[in-house]
């Protein structure tokens, strides 16, 4: 994406500042040796620093959708990197350099981001604004004098241009099929895999009810009601038991967490 920012800057400066003038726009390092070879008016746009813009970092994942609006994948959000350019003007007279720097400053101050019509390639496809700032004070951990010292040249009037460019190169994570209404089954009973336990519970449910002490033949909770029995059993005569008998509830509701 750096080369796409270079192309956008070159197109912007040539169209709105130079306006067909015979002035070159180069991206070379303005070292002492390079300066000695300059023999024509030149605007130097030197990229001297690249670092991430931590204020614009996002967390989480972004969804990608198909034509039906279904999520088909997830990816990390773009990360923004600040590209710092040192812009200088090179002519035979300092006055001409100052005039050219003034035109460059006036042009770049008109925009808070690179014009969308100047973007090409990936930057154009993303459709995200590419913000930029011009001539702001440098951070405390960097000074322009240090940059010129590293280049081995003499300190020269310059403009500091910082462009925050999005980088979308990140892994994409596929998602599973969407959740639908089919395939969801809810039923009552015990685990289907434990067939022996099911049969044992059914057998216990069919057994006759046992008499509760002092309450005649009332069925125990969870046991099947006694539909018959021996009149000689404890709890009184059969007629008394029939008169005092109440229907019992033997249905037990449990949750089945397995497959049927």
pLDDT in tens, the chain (260 residues): 899 999 999 999 999 998 878 899 999 999 999 999 999 999 999 999 999 888 877 776 767 777 777 777 777 777 889 999 999 999 999 999 999 999 999 999 999 999 999 998 888 888 888 999 999 887 776 777 788 888 887 888 999 999 999 887 766 767 766 666 565 565 555 555 456 666 777 777 676 655 555 555 555 555 555 555 454 445 444 544 444 444 444 445 555 555 54
pLDDT for 188? 56
Best CA proximity match to 123, nearest among 6, 222, 260 = 6
pLDDT for 100? 95
pLDDT for 251? 47
Entry field: residues in the chain:
260
pTM given for the model? 0.61
**Cβ 134 vs Cβ 105: under 8 Å:** yes
CA 104 vs CA 18, 48, 50: distances in Å: 9, 19, 22
pLDDT for 122? 85
Bridge-partner residues for 49, per DSSP?
84
**Apex CA 54: angle with CA 137 and CA 85, to 5°?**
40
- Rg (C-alpha) for the chain, rounded Å, is 42
Best CA proximity match to 80, nearest among 144, 12, 170 = 170
pLDDT for 143? 73
Q: Domain spans of the chain?
A: 2-174, 189-230+243-260
Torsion sign (Cα): 83, 89, 94, 95 = negative
pLDDT for 186? 59
pLDDT for 20? 79
2-174 CATH:
3.30.2000.30
Please give the Cα distance from 48 to 240 (Å, whole number): 105
Residues 145-169 as b/e (b if ≥16 CB within 10 A, e otherwise) read eebbeebebeebebbbbbbbbbebe
In this structure, what token pair is assigned to residue 176?
A: 């599973």
């Amino acid at each position: 994406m750096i080369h796409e920012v270079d192309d956008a800057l070159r197109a912007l400066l040539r169209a709105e500042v130079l306006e067909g003038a015979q002035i070159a726009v180069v991206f070379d390092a303005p070292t002492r040796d390079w300066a000695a070879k300059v023999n024509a008016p030149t605007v130097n746009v030197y990229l001297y620093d690249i670092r991430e813009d931590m204020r614009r970092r996002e967390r989480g994942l972004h969804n990608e959708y198909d034509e039906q609006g279904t999520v088909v994948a997830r990816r990390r959000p773009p990360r923004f990197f600040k590209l710092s350019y040192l812009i200088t003007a090179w002519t035979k007279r300092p006055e001409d350099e100052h005039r050219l720097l003034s035109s460059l400053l006036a042009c770049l101050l008109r925009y808070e981001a690179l014009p969308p019509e100047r973007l090409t390639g990936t930057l154009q496809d993303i459709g995200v604004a590419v913000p930029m700032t011009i001539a702001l004070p440098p951070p405390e951990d960097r000074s322009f004098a240090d940059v010129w010292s590293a280049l081995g040249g003499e300190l020269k009037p310059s403009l500091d241009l910082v462009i925050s460019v999005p980088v979308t190169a990140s892994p994409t994570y596929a998602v599973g099929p969407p959740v639908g209404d089919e395939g969801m089954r809810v039923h009552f009973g015990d685990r289907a895999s434990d067939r022996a336990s099911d049969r044992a519970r059914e057998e216990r449910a069919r057994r006759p009810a046992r008499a509760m002490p002092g309450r005649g033949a009332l069925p125990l909770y969870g046991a099947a009601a006694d539909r018959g029995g021996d009149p000689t059993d404890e709890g009184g005569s059969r007629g008394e038991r029939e008169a005092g008998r109440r229907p019992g509830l033997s249905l037990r509701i449990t949750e089945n967490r397995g497959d049927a």
